[in-house]
Amino acid sequence: MSFAQGAILLLVLLSLLITAWSAHKPQSTAQFYTAGRHISGWQNGFALAGDYLSAAAFLGAAGMVVSQGYDSLIYAVGTLAGWPLLLLLLAEKLRERGCFTVADVLAQRFPEPSVRIMSACSSLLIVVCYLVVQMVGAGKLIELMFGVPYLEAVLSLGVLMLVYVALGGMLATTWMQIIKAGLMLGCGLTLAFGVLAQSDFSLATLMARTVATYPSGGAVLQPSKAMSNPWEVISLGMGLVLGLLGLPHVLMRFFTVTDARAARISACWATGIIALFFTLNVIIGAGAIVLVSKNPLFLDLHGKLLGGGNMAALHLALAIGGSRFQGIVAAVVFASILAVVAGLAMAGASTLSHDLYTNVLKRGRVGESQELNVSRLAILVLALCAIFLSTLFQQQNIAVLLGLAFSIAASGPFPVLLLTLFWPGLTARGAVAGGVMGLAGATLMIILGPAVWVAVLGHAHPLFPLANPALCSVSLAFFSAWAVSRFTS
């Protein structure tokens, strides 16, 4: 057994011990969905950061610096900018309502089943898209580290997800996120320290070496031609910023804290942690350009990085700290995927059991024990669905699914939630219209845009010009909600 395999198994064992500890707590719907609302502000801040910082934020961000240079900063800044908005607009108001899901928040004002169904459907679509992305990444990592077939890899991940969430509920999921966030932050700090040590702890020296090594020279510090269209940049920024405010597995974290003040504190903690991590990613990406991108040890016969651009951070770990440090980083990446999968499964299970089964199908006439049993069955359904879809998409461009998840989150849940909390003129029909038009519009625009119509289907020109449709789909959602509300008031 290699050091990396042992590190991964050790983290899996630790997560199973956390699950066993959580399973001994008294089980109720409040305990299962919200950890009894006993999570403190700083704990929830780390858990929020853990929920949001997936493997893509670590491996993908460093790889993006290597391949796209300055453009990666646009993604980092756009993503980070959503957190202050989340703090100002939603954090306290969500906790004050004392709900289990986002659909509960809408249902407090609009008890009509159609509103809850619309919210549940958009949440499920986001969760499934996100879940497939994480499962594909984890499957490829397990396949690489343990040499097992891809199907066995995703099956093992599905079983772990089922055990963690079904037995441990939100409490186990929260502590997994806290530990994962701490581990990722530790790895990021160590990698950044190692990169700076190679440049005499001088950022100026590091940047000079980065410019000298980058194929396009000084272009690494300038926006690329892909960012020359201002509408594309604005739409991308809207999708990144507003998409965060509609992610169900992030929003439901504000239901777990003790009070509104703790919700505000947790958002501040998460913002600081994520800002620090994205800053470290810039240093890590620059180090990967200098130490990895031209090193024959990490290149194939065609001069490309072994394993693709997403492996830049792992190669950098080997260059800085040897095989043992690379094994630790690989284990932390796996733990990151595992924790995010657990959070997504928790959000999906609560949507299926609490929103659709309990409050739509049974109209609230369900006991706590029965709802908990349905929640565990829902986790099994989600696991099977994610395993099946991840086998179909293992060779496809999963970035399309991630883009679709953010676009739907920005266009469907966010406009309806914002208008429900702040606009008295919104009606139930307006809420449904805004959610449906935002969801359908974002999906259709991505299919007709460059990411699918050209890159996947092979057509010469896209029918919709923007790669990220948020500018149009978010506007469509707000306009639909306003127009229908005015005519149905």
Band of residue 62 on the pLDDT scale cut at 50, 70, 90: confident
Note the pTM of the prediction, 2 decimals. 0.90
CA distance 340 to 130: 9
User: What pLDDT, in 10s, does the model give residues 15-42?
Assistant: 888 888 888 876 788 888 888 888 999 9
Tokens of 104: 């509960």
Give the domains, in start order, of the chain with CATH numbers: 3-395 (1.20.1730.10)
pLDDT, tens digit (0-9, with 9 covering 90-100), for 168-198: 889 889 999 999 899 999 999 999 999 999 8
Residue 237 in this model has a pLDDT that exceeds 70: yes
Separation CA 203–CA 288 (nearest Å): 14
Q: Could you give the percent of the chain with pLDDT greater than 70?
A: 97
For the segment 84-113, what is each residue's pLDDT rounded down to a tens digit?
899 889 989 998 887 888 999 999 999 999
Nearest Cα to Cα of residue 289 among 400, 212, 388:
212
Give the model's confidence band at 431: pLDDT under 50 very low, under 70 low, under 90 confident, else very high.
very high
Specify the amino acid at residue 200.
D
Give, for 219, the enclosing helix (H) or strand (E).
none
The token pair that represents 480 in the structure block: 């639909």
Handedness of CA 285, 287, 292, 293 (dihedral sign): positive
Q: Can you give the pLDDT at residue 1?
A: 66
Query: What residues have CB less than 8 Å from 31, skipping those under 6 apart?
Result: 25, 169, 170, 171
Structure confidence at residue 74 as a pLDDT band (50, 70, 90): confident
pLDDT per position as a tens digit, 433-472: 999 999 999 989 988 988 888 877 888 888 998 888 999 9
Query: Could you tell me where the DSSP H helices lie in 112-149?
Result: 113-146
**Beta partners for 305?**
299
Q: Report the amino acid identity of residue 297.
A: L
284-304 tens-digit pLDDT: 988 888 888 888 888 777 777
Quick one: residue 377, left, alpha or beta (phi over 0 = left, psi -120 to 50 = alpha)? alpha
Q: What percent of the chain shows pLDDT beyond 90?
A: 28
Structure tokens at 171: 């409490």
Return the pLDDT at 399: 59
pLDDT at residue 380 is higher than 70: yes
pLDDT interval class at 254 (50, 70, 90): very high
For residue 257, list its beta bridge partners.
39
Label residue 56 by pLDDT band (50, 70, 90). Answer: low
Average pLDDT over the chain reads: 86
Per-residue pLDDT averaged across 312-335, rounded? Answer: 86
Least reliable range by pLDDT among 143-147, 388-392, 418-422: 143-147
pLDDT-based confidence at 48, cuts 50/70/90?
Answer: very high
SS3 152: helix
